[in-house]
Amino acid sequence: MFENSVSEKLFCSPMQDSASSSNLDPTAFLPDELLLTILSHLDFLSVCSLAKPVSRRWRRLSSDALLLRGIFFKTLKDTANVYSESCLEDLTKAKRARIDESAFFLKNLISDLRMGSEKCLPSGKVFPFPAKMNAMNIKDQKIYFASSDKAIYICDNQLKVLSHHTFENVPIEGLCIQTLDQNIFCGSLGGGIYVLNEDSGEEIMRLEGHRYQVSALEIEGDKIYSASWDQTIRIWDRATGKELKRINQHTLISCLKVFENKIYSGCLDDTLRVWDAETGLLIKELKGHTSMITCLQVERDAIYSGSRDQTIRIWDRESGSPLHKLVGHKRSISSLAVFNDKIISGSLDNNIKIWGKASGLMINELMGHTSQIIYLKAENGTIISGSLDQTLRVWDFNWQEPIP
């Protein structure tokens, strides 16, 4: 039954009979175990390409549960990490053994192929924001956004309002918002950072020190990291709100990421700086962009930066050496997401582009927004985008038609 469903999803042409094709298949007399070992060294597209024209046996082997599992964990590392941590963390080994994971692995492998093919367009859903959105974040299937009417909205994944809190005397119409442990952290235009209870909206804490707009917030462990147009990065104790360290950068800071005890900052002067989070000392300065850096993502091996110069650059995280320069957007890059083997970028040209992480080549483009894209998230075969056109779009590559 599973074999048939795989065939329907993967292949458009009718199956050949294995008996009639055996005289054409030089591997017909090899044992299944050896063929599965060979297939395990291939990527999913190669497995599909080999299985399609050969025989029913090859199609059956391409659907082998252990083979799909191995390709899934090798190819979709981010999805695999999320799956391992969130979906199976509370299950015993006995319960895990009874779960048929193959359908989940296959669904994600197929949607990943579609996401990387310009021939495959996603199905789409558009949801209007219930108020004018300035900043947003998504966590645990909830959408949080700060609006220009001095309110924080908490919505479900279709923007149905679950709750909202209005603050008459709190200037929360900032450009950054984070959530953790039922608390909302919001940077303001006036330089304050407000910590609010998600359920009641009560102000728990106010972090004061920045003199101008807070441009970026990150929460790592027991610390809060903030960047501001006052040209400083500040590190705060998350429990007490006490300022622990201030880094003077001598230029406006537009974006910030924290990874493995290092701080990465994108700046108005076109540079990307890397700081030691413990000492506050500058480790390295990366130059290459020709205009302000607007967004950042950091992974174990690479740094990804978007800029007003309309390009995305990939840097080796250890050495700082440039790896790729991605050119294609017609206006400033406004948001970045990195997921599995793909880079997803949003721009002031209103479009979303999907790039191959290893090749640096554009592999797909999504059009529909009518203003700049300020937020991107990818998960389980979907891309979620938030735009200043006041809509949230869900681009879903999990449709059921065969791969062309």
Q: What CATH number has the domain bearing residue 76?
A: 1.20.1280
How far from chain centre, in Å, is Cα 102? Answer: 24
At residue 12, does pLDDT exceed 80? no
The predicted-structure confidence for 79-101, as pLDDT tens digits, reads as follows 767 666 655 555 555 455 555 67
The answer to whether residues 156 and 109 belong to one domain is: no
Which pTM value belongs to this model? 0.80
CATH of the domain at 140: 2.130.10.10
Indicate if 213 and 326 belong to the same structural domain: yes
Residue 151 and residue 98 share a domain: no
115, 149, 165 - which closes a domain: 115
**Which percentage of the chain shows pLDDT scores above 90?**
47
Q: Tell me if residue 46 falls in helix, strand or coil.
A: helix
Task: Give residue 54's pLDDT band: very low, low, confident or very high (50, 70, 90).
Answer: low
Q: Which uninterrupted H or E stretch holds 149?
A: none
Q: Which domain holds residue 234?
A: 123-396
Q: Are 180 and 251 part of one and the same domain?
A: yes
Please report the pLDDT score of residue 59 as a whole number.
Answer: 72
Domain boundary among 115, 135, 159: 115
Give me the mean pLDDT over the 223-232 stretch.
94
Q: Can you tell me the distance from the alpha carbon of 98 to that of 303, in angstroms, rounded to the nearest whole number?
A: 40
**Predicted pLDDT of residue 167:** 75
Does one domain contain both 238 and 266? yes
Q: Is position 40 within any domain?
A: yes
| SS3 track for 120-138 | CCCEEEEEECCCCEEEEEE
Strand order in the sheet with 333-339: 333-339, 342-347, 352-356, 362-366
173 and 44 within one domain:
no
Does residue 107 sit in the same domain as residue 240? Answer: no
pLDDT, position 236: 97
Residues 86 and 131 in one domain: no
Q: Which whole-number Å values give the CA distances from 44 to 49, 62, 87, 105, 401, in the listed order? A: 9, 9, 23, 11, 17
pLDDT tens-digit readout, 304-360: 999 999 999 999 999 999 999 999 999 999 999 998 889 999 999 999 999 988 888
> What is the crossing angle of helices 32-39 and 65-75, to 10°?
10
With respect to residue 146, please indicate whether it lies within any of the assigned structural domains.
yes
Q: 321 and 231 share a domain?
A: yes
Tell me: do 299 and 190 sit in the same domain.
yes
Average pLDDT over residues 20-33: 62
Exposure of 115 by Cβ count < 10 A (0-12 exposed, 13-18 middle, 19+ buried)?
Answer: buried
Q: Are residues 128 and 98 in the same domain?
A: no
265: which residues sit within 8 A by CB, 6+ positions away?
Answer: 227, 233, 249, 253, 255, 256, 272, 273, 275, 296
Same domain assignment for residues 95 and 138? no
58, 91, 115 - which closes a domain: 115
- Our count of domains for the chain comes to 2
Query: In 3D, which of 117, 160, 151, 121 has the Cα closest to residue 133?
Result: 151
Distance CA(385)–CA(366), nearest Å, equals: 10
